[in-house]
Structures are given as structure tokens and as C-alpha cells.
Structure 1
């Protein structure tokens, strides 16, 4: 009972306080003044009466009480005639009001400025920095690679603009990128499609601007609007390199028009499809691209020709001991990868090469390390028919089929299994009877169903490609039903949900491979790099992580605009691309040879050797047997199943 009374009293007091606050400012001031007087007047009386030196008369003591109250409440406490006291109190209250108002205005201004800074609405005053526009999962690998690229610089900055809370952006980046080194990460809040808000990150004075594609079906349209806003914010072409990415090939030309002649727009679907096909044909190629694109290892650079002017490109291949020459950059900006060995090098040309850093491309002749008696001549390999399996269907699938048809040998078959309708898949694939190389067969089914996979006899295929399925409802029964399968009105599956289905498929494929006692040749597409770490696959397996790959490409081009032409040719069906070819076709395998010997052997076949992969180390991380740009003096003994990494025509 006592507890209930205590609680009731507390609630009643709180209720009266709430009513007092609701009474407005005037009531609050009045009650606050009364509360102060209730405390100050009795306390001052006690102090005066307890003071041994207090006036002996009552009037004197009351006067002393008034003086104490006035000094405590900062209203003077002057004594004299009533009019004098009233005037002094009025002046004291006016002074108090003035000081309080001034302090309030200063505090409000400071708080407003602090909130403005916390919201990220202030302008970045930087020069030579990198601007990142937009927010998606790609922001983390982009910032991480930019930090790595700027590690040898004293002072660098990355400015991020996105319609997201500034503090939240900073916390997420700090969590994903633990050590930013000498690079400062500056986040600003704003819409990337508004030219006025774009000015907050100073794109006019930046060295590079990266436009990230947001998630969702409208991501490409957002990229186009951002590029148009950027053109409005910086009407005169500056020194900044503009790099953007769109997902759908149908929006590529539109985005290129919006980016202008100085912009570079990557098409995610096109690049991923081509890399999937290249890796499916030559397992291990994804590891080569991953090593080549990140700033942790060796990358593409350009170096002045200097003493090579007037000599041929073939001679330049052995002119750098610790760098691998792959092409020429002409003064007009044109890049020629793997030109004819007899091509003369101009005085103003630059050498395109793979090197550890831009300052490690030092000329040093390595021709003395070539061992003529170790070079062998192999017969050209004839295209052979193969059985291929494609599990899954999405927007990139028709591009994959088209690319496969250009490279495979006559009589090659491709079986496609997906949840989609067979007729729909055939129509969207663009397959016609005019195709003479690739025979395609479609089958509708759930690739996460182990019974379906068992019926396919997966081990009998030469290569298996697994891609994410989007836009389909889950067939019952299914191991991992999505929310969209329960309610079709929900949004299409996200990249994470797509990866979940891919992980289930890989789990069943691993069980099939173990039961058959053989290692399946798998090439897998994923959206999230974090999900790749969960994949039930062997170490060193081929994974094409679309988000991370595009992020790496964008950062590489942002650091060197000429690399856009290099990567465009590498991912193009025609021209030169990277290959993994048997090392035994180039040198003898019964002894150690210097890498310079392989470079010379590849040159005679009109190819550029840039590294090798050892089968014995293919399952050992982190390199998985891949060695890019080895020292040409390094001696290696190759086996029958080792590979040489070369740049050659398709």
C-alpha cells in the first residue's frame, strides 16, 4: 500500500510539472523565479542571522538580506529610496536579459554550424582529390583501392557525396577500411543529381570523379542523371577523369553521351559476361585479373620510351628486367596492345607495361638471360568440341551465350538450366538457326534442387558456369524460399538473395564432385564479395564478383585515364586478351629456365608473356600459383600441367 501511495505521489508531481511546462514561456519564467526566491531568500536570511558581524537592528539585517539576494540573483542588491532600488533592479534585469539573449544567439549559431558540419552540407576545399558520387556496396572496395593507390603519397583525399547521413557514412567506411594511411576520407550529404549539391565536393578541382551505380532497376537512370548534373556543375571540361558504370547494355550508349567525350563508362553486364566466358574457357583466369586489377600487386602503368626510341617493340619486351611490356601508348592517346614485334617505337611514345609501381619501371636489358636451346615450337592447337553447362539465367545470360558462340569449336554444346520458361529464354537469348558452332538446349528447373542436378550428370561436362537467377519465383519445393515467392508483389530479388541461391547450388555441386571423385571445372558469378568467402568451393576456384571487379576497374582508370583503352580491348571479343597456355608449348620442362626465355619464346609467336601459374600451388593462397610480372632473371622449372600467362590475339 505504501509503495502504491509513493508511486501515486510521484506520478501526481510529474503530472503537475508537465502541465507547468505546457503553460508556455511566461508561466515557466514566473514559476522559475518563484522557485529561486523560495530557495535564495531563506538561505540569505540564514547567512545574515548566522553572521557575527551582522547589523544589530532588524532593519539593518533585512537590508543585508536584500543585498545578498540581489547579488545572488545578479540584480545588484542596491539600497536606497524605493525608486532607486526599483530603477536598479530594472536595469539589472535589462542587462541580464541582454546578456542571456546574446549568449543564446551565440550558442544557437554555434549549434547550427555544428549541425551543418555533422549533416555534411559544407563545401570541400580540396584540390587534386578524388570524388566518389553515390552510395552502394561498391563504395568500400573503391575507397580501399584508392587508399592503396595513394599509399606512396604524402597527402591525398577522397570526397564522398551521397544522400545519406554524413556520420553514418563515415562510420561505415571506417568499419570496412580500417587503415586509411595518408588518405583523408571526407563525406558530404547531398543528392548527386543536383548540380548545386554536387559543388559540395568540389568536382571542378578534382583529379578524378567516380559515379557508382546504385542498386535497383533505376540505377542506370540515376547514373545518367548524375552525369548530366556533373556536366551542369562543371560546364567546362577540366582535368578530372570521369568514370561511371551502368549495368544494362541498353543504357551504355546513353550514359556515354551524358558523360561526354572525356568520360569513361563501363558496362557491367558486358564486362562480366565476357570475363565469365573467358574464365570458363581457361580456368584460373579470374585470379589473374584479380591480381592485375587491385593495387596490392602488379598493375598496368606507362613509362617513357627514352633509350628505346627507334628500336622495335619486340626489342622492348626484354628491355625491362622487373617489368613486363605489353604495348605502346602513342602521343595522340591511342593504345596499341601487343603490336607487331617489328613496330618501331617513336620518340614521343610511352611503353605500356605491368609493374609493381610507377617508379619500378626501370630499363635494364634482360636479353642475356635467354636460353635458345630451351625454346620449343608447339603446333597451333585446333578448336575442339566441348560440353558446357550454364546453371541460372539473368540479364547477362544472352551475352554469355553470344560470347561462347564466338570462341568455341564447332560441335560444342551448351545446356542451359534455369527456373525461367524455355521459350522465353530461347527468345531472349537471340539464338537463331544461323549459328554454326554452338548448339544450345534449354531446360526449365530449379538449380538449387539436388535431384535435378543429379539427373544432369554434371561431372560429364567440360565446364560449368553458375550465374545468379533474378526475376523468377521460387519453384516449390525449394531449399531457400524467398519472400517474393510468398508474395509476388514484392520487389525482385536482391543481389544477396541471388547469392544465397548460388551458394546452395555450389553446395550441391561440391557434393556431386566429391561423390564422383573428380574436381568440377566451375566458374561462378556473385554480387557480394562477402558471400564469396562463404562459398563451398575449393581454394583458388574461379569467382567473378561483379561489384568488386567493376570497383577495381573504376579505380584503375581513375588513376590513369589511358587504362580505359587497355581494359576495353582486354574485355572485347576482338583483339588481344589474356590467356593461360601450357608452358610446355614454349620451353622445355626437363630443366630450370629463366623467365626471359619464356618472354622470347612468346615473342616469336607474336605474344607478350606477363607471368605464369604453377599447378602444384593452385590450391595454396593467397596467390594460388599465379605469379604476375616475375623478374626475368628468375629461374623456374615448369611441369607439363603448368601455364604461361600471355597477352595474345583471341
Structure 2
């Protein structure tokens, strides 16, 4: 057997490693020897190459010494041996002192940089917004906060999570982009440790948002974070705390942990309600998207002293560029769509939809109303419906329960899933909705073909997370992947049948929605983005929490899309003020419309929220008016 002979370079590296292992004294000795071996011969050459070459040996020695001394910062002084020795000693002391000083400064700066990069330095801010936790919701929340702070000179968002600070900053930069006048700072630590939590100064903040983790134990983590938040110091009414839990069963515990001034959203309840409401009215998800983000017009609570003593009905037509939808009464109670004859008190504030709180101003002259264009709604009867639910997850029982409170008597719901049939039936309460279980895989094209999907009035597609009812058995993203495959099959069925299917889809990640093989303007409920928008809106105005509770509940007033022909004539242009007046006579608040001609054109897809009441609009038979009403 032949032996491998190491290369010269390998042997040199091996010798160098051995040398390094001997420690600092040996390294200093070798470094001195190498320096002298290079500097002394080079100094001799320099002296020999100079213009004034010494003629004596003593002159050569003095000249070489000066060159060596200047190169090694030893002074290079000549004279008596004592003088030379003392000058060398002083030079060495100065060299050691400067070296030690530079080393100390470098080490201190290095430690300081490491401390800053570790994200443990305190945030000395006031009236800032704090985000606790790290999920994909961080990015839409920061995006909306940046939009909300666009007109402010200086705003700060502090993100605190048990992750690397630099990694968080890099991901925010790549996912959010420029933040304008809003400064985003990140700090690292456990959100359930009160000592570490104080780093982001939560009790000097204007709002604290606790984001729900995606893992099965995420709700427990939210509760512990809320308890830690209260343990950091006394509660203040100036700081609004907004949190979210995914499982509705954990909502009471989280609400107790948040305290009397906190607001806790139940992701399951909100998503289930919106899915059902959207299943009743095509395009409703687009309307909620417009109302919840900060890009266009949204809800504000504003005082209007000039309307004190007037009725709510009179206030509906008093604004040209804002839509009145409710009142916040003296004492803090929120009333959405109150009776038209409700008198406005001196301490009442109006709930309006407008571009900004500064744009809610009274019109100099109330917009004109065309009485001849107002019509009486035609009576309509509701027929029994056939509904199809594809998939099953933790929210499914809530969806079935909500559907039962909306649909006409005699309606049926077919549930297709691989979940256990007995568990599914046990989760569905009997009511006026007849629920049938059909076992099958929603990603199986053949099984969907057997269902005759085009025969159903509405199809709801939800994330199928595992084959058992209860806690999620699969990650959220895997459920979205199954949903995308199901939508692909439904799209193929739609094209084969030559008939447009009315499909409402639930997803978790908004990026997956962009991949969905559906027509433009289709209805999607993206749970993470929806909850992010809600949390951001409430963090900016705590009074909106009660408003959203009523909007998303089956009882009380909510958003509806109703035929425009029920309000005004459709054969000529009319002002939106005329639509508002027609809606008022039906005890409703008109806030916009959707034109069918633009339904397939993004980004608005025909939806117009809070149009100028003086602008004319011509409606067709398939156009709808967006109102807030009880129904």
C-alpha cells in the first residue's frame, strides 16, 4: 500500500497550528523574531540605498538603528547605552499603553455592538406601538401601521419576540419594504418574562398588540403574555391592549388575563361569521377589505357640535364626502344604525366612514336629493338553499351554527371531509338547517365530480386540517395547500359546466390567495390578514372594538349588498345622496355601491366605499348598494 505524502503547504499549516497552540508568550517571541528578521535586513538595504551612505561602521550601526527604531516605534535615539535603553523602555511602555487602550476600546465597542445586536437594550419611547410575538401577522400589521402613521412626523413600532434581532429586522425589510416616517425597532426576549418585557416600555406605549402563534399551544402563550404584561407595572387607560386567540374556547381566559381595558379577538368566531355572511352576499369580503385597511376610507369617531340637537336621519345627508353610520353615546356606548329620529346629544360623537378624521366636515349645502328617482323595494321571498361545505376544521361547527341562523327553513348543507363522521355529526347542532355528512377527499377530482357541484347554490371551501375533529393535526400551510388543490378542481368543474360557481374560500396565508386558480374578485376570507387588520384598527381607535363586534354578529346591524333597483331607478344617473335618502327611509345607512361591470377588474372589483354624495352614478339591474342595516 502506498502512503500519501502531505503537500508542503499542508505541512506548513500543520506547523503553524502547533505554534499557535503554544500560547501567547511563544507567539510574542516568534512575532519579534520574524519582525527583526525582516526589519533589520530591510533597514540595512535602506541605509545603503540612501544618498548619504555612512562611511564608518559606527555610522552604519547608528543609521540602521534609527531605521529599525522608527519602523518598530522604538524612537531610534542614539547616544550612551543608558540613554538608548531608557528611550527604548519608554517607547515600549508607550506602545504597550496605546495597544492596551486600543484593545480596551475595541473590546468595549465589540461588546456594545453584540449587546445591541442581541436586542436587549431598552426602548425609550412614548406613544409608540408594541407588537409582542412573531408570526406572519407581523408584516400586515406593520404595513397597516405605516399607512396609518403616514401623516405623522415621527412614529415608532417596537417588535418584541423570542427571535434574533437582526433576523427580524432583515425579514421585515424584505417583506414590508420602506416604512417612511415610521421607525421599526426590534428587541429579543421571551414575551412571557415580565423583566424582559419591560425592555420595550409597554406602559408608555399607546397600544400593545399580542399576536397569536400558529402552533397548537399558541393560545396558552397569548394568555401567559397578557399576564406578564400586567405584571410589568400598573395598568393605564391610555394604553390599549389588543390580543387574539385562535380557539374560541380560550377566549374567556384570555379576556380575564387582558383585564378590563383589554380587547381580545377570537379568530374562530370572526372568521366563521365573515365566512357565513360572505356566503350570503357575493363581494362582501371585498367590502370588508376596503373598510378594514388604511389605504382608503375607514371608520372614525368624530365630534360634530354643529349637529347637536338634530336627528340622526338629518345627519346622514349633512356630509358630502363622509358616510355616517352610527353614534357613540355619552358614556361610551356604541350604537350602529340607530333610528332616524334619534336626537344627537351634546356629548355624542358620530361614527363615520371617511378618508381621515380631518375630512369629516359638514357640507356647505346638503347634497341635492332627486325624489323622482327613489323607488320602493320589490317584495322578495327566500327559497330553501342547497349549500356545500368542503373540508372540516376546528371552526367548522361555528360555521354550521352561523349558517343555521341565516338560511331559510328547509335548506340543506352537505359536508364533504375525511374526518370521522360521528365526530362531525356530534359537532353539528340540530336546527332548521339539515346537515348531511358525505365522506370524501376534497382534493379528489373524481369525488367532486360525483357531487354535481354546479347544482349547489353556494360552495364554502375551508382548510381541511387533518382527519379528526378537534385541534389541528396539520400545519396551517398544509391546509392552504389542500385548499389550493380543491380550488383548482372547482375551477375545472366550473369551466366544464359553463356556469359560474359561487365559491367562498377560507385561507390562512394571504400569499396563498394570490396563487388561487379562481376568477378575479372572488371572495376570500384570509384569517391571518383579517385578524391583523382588525387588531390594527382597534389599536388605533379602541372605540371601534364594539362596532366590529356588532358588525360581525348575526344579531344587530351588519353590512349588506342589496339590489340597487330596490333603492333608485336604474335608467338614468342619480346622485349618491339620493341613494342615501332612499336607504334612510328603509332604516338603513348607505355607505357605497358595487358595479357589476367592474367586478372582474382589480383592485376595487367594482366596489366603491364612501363616494361623494354629489357625484352621479348610473346603476344597472345587477349592481348593488352597500348598506349597514338589520336583516
Match of 1:601 among 567, 582, 607: 582
Match of 1:63 in 2: 62
SS at structure 2 position matched to 1:645: strand
Q: Give the whole-Å Cα distance in 1 for the aligned partners of 2:568 and 2:52.
A: 112
Q: Give the whole-Å Cα distance in 1 for the aligned partners of 2:89 and 2:416.
A: 90
Q: Give the whole-Å Cα distance in 2 for the aligned partners of 1:443 and 1:60.
A: 107
Match of 1:472 in 2: 467
User: 1:161-172 residue pairs with structure 2 within 5 A?
Assistant: 161-172=160-171
Residues 410 and 434, structure 2, Cα contact 8 Å, conserved in 1: yes
Residues 560 and 628, structure 2, Cα contact 8 Å, conserved in 1: yes
Match of 2:546 among 555, 565, 584: 565
Match of 1:445 in 2: 440
User: 1:9-24 residue pairs with structure 2 within 5 A?
Assistant: 9-24=8-23
SS at structure 1 position matched to 2:268: helix
Superposed CA offset, 1:180-234 (max 9, x none): 2211121222222222222222222211111111221111111111111211223
TM-score, length of structure 1 as denominator length:
0.93
Q: Give the whole-Å Cα distance in 1 for the aligned partners of 2:144 and 2:293.
A: 7
Deviation at 1:570, TM superposition (A): 0.6
Aligned residues: 625
Match of 1:315 in 2: 314
Deviation at 1:472, TM superposition (A): 2.8
Match of 1:264 in 2: 263
Counterparts in 2 of 1:365 and 1:610: CA distance versus 1, 3 Å = farther
Q: Unaligned 5+ residue runs, structure 2?
A: none
User: 1:102-117 residue pairs with structure 2 within 5 A?
Assistant: 102-117=101-116
SS at structure 2 position matched to 1:369: coil
TM-score, length of structure 2 as denominator length:
0.96
* Range 356-365 or range 61-70, more displaced: 61-70
Deviation at 1:163, TM superposition (A): 1.7
SS at structure 1 position matched to 2:7: helix
Residues 210 and 242, structure 1, Cα contact 8 Å, conserved in 2: yes
Deviation at 1:11, TM superposition (A): 1.2
Match of 1:136 in 2: 135
Deviation at 1:385, TM superposition (A): 0.9
Does residue 456 (structure 1) correspond to residue 451 (structure 2)? The answer is yes
* Range 70-79 or range 602-611, more displaced: 70-79
Residues 210 and 243, structure 1, Cα contact 8 Å, conserved in 2: yes
Q: Give the whole-Å Cα distance in 2 for the aligned partners of 1:285 and 1:341.
A: 25
SS at structure 1 position matched to 2:559: strand
Deviation at 1:80, TM superposition (A): 4.8
Deviation at 1:74, TM superposition (A): 2.1
Deviation at 1:400, TM superposition (A): 0.1
Q: Give the whole-Å Cα distance in 1 for the aligned partners of 2:82 and 2:346.
A: 98
* Range 175-184 or range 617-626, more displaced: 175-184
Q: Give the whole-Å Cα distance in 1 for the aligned partners of 2:494 and 2:219.
A: 39
Deviation at 1:525, TM superposition (A): 0.3
Counterparts in 2 of 1:128 and 1:301: CA distance versus 1, 3 Å = same
Match of 2:593 among 612, 620, 635: 612
Counterparts in 2 of 1:333 and 1:380: CA distance versus 1, 3 Å = farther
Match of 1:636 among 617, 621, 626: 617
Match of 1:145 in 2: 144
Deviation at 1:90, TM superposition (A): 3.5
Deviation at 1:82, TM superposition (A): 4.5
Match of 1:411 in 2: 410
Match of 2:528 among 536, 539, 547: 547
Q: Give the whole-Å Cα distance in 2 for the aligned partners of 1:234 and 1:366.
A: 52
Residues 318 and 365, structure 1, Cα contact 8 Å, conserved in 2: no
Residues 131 and 210, structure 1, Cα contact 8 Å, conserved in 2: yes
Counterparts in 2 of 1:410 and 1:280: CA distance versus 1, 3 Å = same
Match of 1:301 in 2: 300
Q: Give the whole-Å Cα distance in 2 for the aligned partners of 1:57 and 1:546.
A: 92
Does residue 499 (structure 1) correspond to residue 498 (structure 2)? The answer is no
Q: Give the whole-Å Cα distance in 1 for the aligned partners of 2:200 and 2:153.
A: 21
Deviation at 1:250, TM superposition (A): 0.8
Match of 1:253 in 2: 252
Deviation at 1:636, TM superposition (A): 1.6
Deviation at 1:564, TM superposition (A): 0.7
Residues 204 and 238, structure 1, Cα contact 8 Å, conserved in 2: no
* Cα RMSD (Å): 1.8
Residues 133 and 160, structure 1, Cα contact 8 Å, conserved in 2: yes
Q: Give the whole-Å Cα distance in 1 for the aligned partners of 2:174 and 2:414.
A: 43
Deviation at 1:79, TM superposition (A): 4.2
